[in-house]
Amino acid sequence: MLKVLRNLKESWVLVLTIIILLCIQAGADLKLPDFTSKIVNVGIQQGGIENTSPEIIRKSTLDKIMYFTDKDNEILEKYTALESNDENISRYPILKDESLYELTNVTSDERKELDEYFQKPLMVLNFMESEENSEQIKTQFQNSVNDPSFQSSMLQQIDSQISAMPDTIKEQAAYSYLKKEYEAIGVDTTKISNNYILKTGVQMLGVAFISMVSAILIMLFSSKVATKLGKTLREKVFKKTLSFSNKEFTEFSSASLITRNTNDIQRIQELLGMMFRVLVYAPIMAIGGFVAVITSSNFSMAWIIGLAVFLIILLVIILFATTMPRFKLMQKLIDRLNLVSREILKGIPVIRAFNTQKREENRFDEANNNLMRNSIFVNRVMCLMDPLMMLIMQSVLILIIWVGGHRIDEGVMQVGNMMAFLQYTMHIVMSFLFISMLSIMLPRASVSANRINEVLEKKPSIEDKPKNKQAKFDNSKKGLVEFKNVSFRYPDADSEILTDINFTAKPGETTAIIGSTGSGKSTVINLIPRFYDVTGGEILVDGANIKDVPQQELRKKIGYVPQRGMLFSGTIESNIKYGKNISNEEMEKVADIAQAKEFIDSKEDGYKSEIAQGGDNVSGGQRQRLSIARALAIDPEIFIFDDSFSALDLKTDRNLREALKTKTVGKTVIIVAQRVSTIINAEQIIVLEEGKIVGKGTHSELLKNCETYKQIATSQLSEKELGLEEVK
């Protein structure tokens, strides 16, 4: 998998940008629960009051506070009495009856100290002035007015009761008393609460907006990176495939190569779109959320997160163990289905001719059903993931609310803290959920990555030598083809197909190769463009060993016409000009030589007529003639015709050979043929039998001294046509 991901280096700027944006989004998302907690705890429960040290306070209340603290001087030096001027009285009408003290400018650290000084006295006052306790305490103090020791013990008792209270209750008591104090002064506490909620809400929306923008940009950039990686991989796989020789194509079927270049790369793209979020965002959220929990007052509920994570990991392990073997099998089954489909579609004429439609339907159904059963199993298991994950998440939510509710009731936790804990827990659980989803996608993507690497790492059996070791063509031997003691066996074959092949094809001459089926005729000429490499001996073109020259330069010198004319989707013009962009006049000339002009002119669109994929909308003879025209268009040094006249009638065959003489003057022509009439005038005829040369010479020479050739010739032509009467 890592080998495939190395191709991301081309998009390193975008990858770095995505990582930065993920960090920004994670930071923003981790901040949101804190805002929720503040809105509930401070904005609603505390009425927007953030500090226990009052902004303004009555003198009577300040005197009470001084009774319960030994920090009198520290407190008083931070407050100044308000003047009873018109402006202040309009703000605080109570100034007419009672003095007010206002907090002067203090630093944040000084404000924290003041909060600590005020908190306990405010709690004591709230406790003493509550409806439940005020009458009882007042009566006891009145009854013991002449007993100072009793008053002291009463104060100690109150202090011990307050100390036994949970911290959250103490804090809320202080804020509750302070809120009453503000109301008594005439401060609009509703406005304070609304302003705090509005301010915090705006900040929360700002952070949420940053998270949203980051998420959108991440999705945009991730899709670009994934798409670019897919494009790069497809280019590399396709380029590598083009470098394969026939040996590699026997190892990788065409259907498998297509699947690897489409379906497998698509799997990698899908994984990459999610991978950044899992590898960067999820760990930050999980770690950040856990740190936020353990550093808050909610650490005692952290076991719930541990339980949720354990259940998710357990579920993922079970799903992983169940589906991994099936994921590995999936791509092989897709390969098999593609292979069967291609074979059936290409072989439809044969299938219809032999009435085997039912058999092929059964073969396709078998491959299709195997894939379906495997997919159904995987999908069924995967379908369990979402409901089980949701069950875990909802169970965790209920557990948090149940435990948190009890802690709130006990005064250990505030509502806002529970809501924040709930959000942090969901962040952590969702992070592990992302990781679990990746762990499910990863096996299949890993299988696809391995299949892609198999192609990319496959070393072609036919490669060019390094430039400093490459040979150069000898222009004095232009067009000369020499076979010297050539032998050849197919990969993994037990015996040699060709043995000790020696002949020379000269420029200006036609060299024909004939023999019975399976004698090795096509193999001989496939060695010249280096579709295979010889296993013994050497082949020289223009005086250079073909193994020592670049394949591209070698094939530029050869005009190759395969046994089965292969055309590409497009037009007649694009197929003729496939090897070289010649002028329209030259195109018409080569089409005329190839005996294709007549049927081209008969078409409504002429050379602009559409050609279907593989040339399926033209006849076999027309395909062969267009293939010949395509080879003639590049005007090479060497022409190779691999039984390219077999689909032509005798008249067209004769006319084509006559026309070729004008185009192939001074060129080397090598023809593989089954018909003796096609090669009867060749300057050299090579007769093959079981991979060996059993005859070499002209037509008349071979009739005299090669029994194999004579048998082939007499089976096709009469003795008179062969001139055997004269030979006798």
Q: What is the mean pLDDT of the chain?
A: 83
Question: Which range has the worst mean pLDDT, 65-79, 141-155, 213-227, 624-638?
Answer: 141-155
Whole-number Å distance between alpha carbons of 309 and 430:
10
In angstroms, the CA 396 to CA 406 distance is 15
Q: How far apart are CA 82 and CA 87, in angstroms?
A: 11
d(CA 246, CA 527): 11
pLDDT value of residue 662: 83
Q: How many residues does the chain have?
A: 728
User: SS3 string of 652-672?
Assistant: HHHHHHHHHHHHCCCCEEEEE
Predicted confidence (pLDDT) at residue 110 exceeds the cutoff of 70: yes
In a domain, 720, yes or no: no
pLDDT digits (tens, 9 = 90+) for 474-507: 988 999 999 999 999 887 777 888 999 999 999 9
For the cut 90, the answer to whether the pLDDT of residue 118 exceeds it is no
Q: How confident is the model at residue 157 (pLDDT cuts 50, 70, 90)?
A: low
- Could you give the 3-state DSSP secondary structure of residue 509? coil
Average pLDDT over residues 263-274: 82
Tell me if 608 sits within 8 A of 569, measured CB to CB.
no
Express each pLDDT in 575-603 by its tens digit: 999 988 889 999 999 999 988 888 898 88
Please state which of the ranges 90-104, 160-174, 194-208, 477-491 shows the lowest mean pLDDT: 160-174
Inform me whether the pLDDT recorded for 177 exceeds 80.
yes
The answer to the question of residue 519 being in a domain is: no
Q: How many domains are contained in the chain?
A: 1
Backbone φ, ψ for residue 644 (5° rounding): -85, 0
pLDDT over 70 (residue 144): no
Percent of the residues in the chain that have a pLDDT greater than 90, as a whole number: 16
Query: Is residue 590 a contact partner of residue 576, using CB atoms and an 8 Å limit?
Result: yes
Asked if residue 390 has pLDDT above 60, the reply is yes
Q: State the pLDDT at residue 685.
A: 93
In a domain, 387, yes or no: yes
Looking at per-residue confidence, does 717 or 723 come out higher? 717
Report the amino acid identity of residue 672. V
How, if at all, do strands 638-642 and 558-561 pair? parallel
Reported as a pLDDT band with limits 50, 70 and 90, residue 205 is: very high
Helix locations, 457-533, DSSP H? 521-527
**Within 13 Å of residue 2, how many CA atoms lie on the same side as its CB?**
0
Q: What is the pLDDT of residue 668?
A: 92
The reply to whether 508 falls in a domain is no
| Longest distance between any two alpha carbons in the chain, whole Å | 162
Compute the distance between CA of residue 61 and CA of residue 65 in angstroms, rounded to an integer. 6
What is the SS3 assignment for 573-614? HHHHCCCCCCCHHHHHHHHHHCCCHHHHHCCCCHHHCEECHH
Q: Which two tokens stand for residue 234?
A: 């497809």
| pLDDT attached to residue 728 | 44
Inside any domain, residue 257? yes
Residue 172: partners with Cβ closer than 8 Å, 6 or more residues away: 45, 46, 414
Contact 670, 678 (CB under 8 A): no
Q: How far apart are CA 642 and CA 684, in angstroms?
A: 16
Neighbouring residues of 244: CB distance < 8 A, sequence distance ≥ 6? 252, 458, 460
Rounded to whole angstroms, how far apart are CA atoms 647 and 650? 9
Nearest CA among 516, 548, 555 for reference residue 534: 548
Q: Is 350 a domain residue?
A: yes
Q: Confidence band (pLDDT; 50, 70, 90) for 160?
A: low
428-467: pLDDT as tens digits = 877 777 777 776 677 777 778 888 888 888 888 888 888 8
Q: Which residues of 573-597 are buried (b: 16+ CB within 10 A; e: fewer)?
A: bbbbbbbeebeeebbbbbbbbbbbb
- Give the pLDDT band of residue 724 (cuts 50, 70, 90): low
Q: Residue 355, by phi and psi: left (phi above 0), alpha (psi -120 to 50) or beta?
A: left
Contacts 24+ apart (CB under 8 A), 700-703: 700/727, 703/727
Between CA 40 and CA 197 the distance in angstroms is: 9
Q: At what angle do helices 415-456 and 265-276 cross, to 10 degrees?
A: 150
Rounded-to-integer distance, Cα 525 and Cα 532, Å = 10
User: Higher pLDDT residue, 554 or 436?
Assistant: 554
Task: Please give the residue range of the domain that contains residue 440.
Answer: 243-456
Give per-residue burial for 251-263: e unless 16+ CB within 10 Å, then b: ebbebbbebbbeb
Once rounded to an integer, what is the mean pLDDT over residues 348-377?
A: 86
Residue 80 CB-half CA count within 13 A: 6
How many alpha carbons fall within 13 Å on the CB side of residue 57? 23
The tens digit of pLDDT for each residue in 533-548 reads 899 999 999 999 999 9
Residue 137 pLDDT > 70, yes or no? Answer: no
Kindly state whether residue 395 falls inside one of the protein's structural domains. yes
d(CA 318, CA 699): 76
CATH number assigned to the domain comprising residue 264: 1.20.1560.10
**pLDDT tens per residue across span 215-225:** 899 888 988 88
pLDDT digits (tens, 9 = 90+) for 602-638: 888 888 999 887 787 888 888 888 999 999 999 899 9
Whether residue 311 is predicted with pLDDT greater than 50 in this model: the reply is yes
Residue 404 in this model has a pLDDT that exceeds 60? yes
Least confident among 63-72, 87-96, 295-304 = 295-304
Q: Within a domain: residue 321?
A: yes
Q: Is pLDDT at 227 greater than 80 in this prediction?
A: yes
CA dist 487 and 496 (Å) reads 7
CA angle 8, 12, 16 (to 5 degrees): 120
**Phi–psi pair at 148, nearest 5 degrees:** -60, -35
* CB atoms near residue 555 (< 10 Å): 18
β-pair partners for 670: 511, 640
The residue among 675, 686, 639 whose CA lies nearest residue 659 is: 639
Per-residue pLDDT, 381? 78
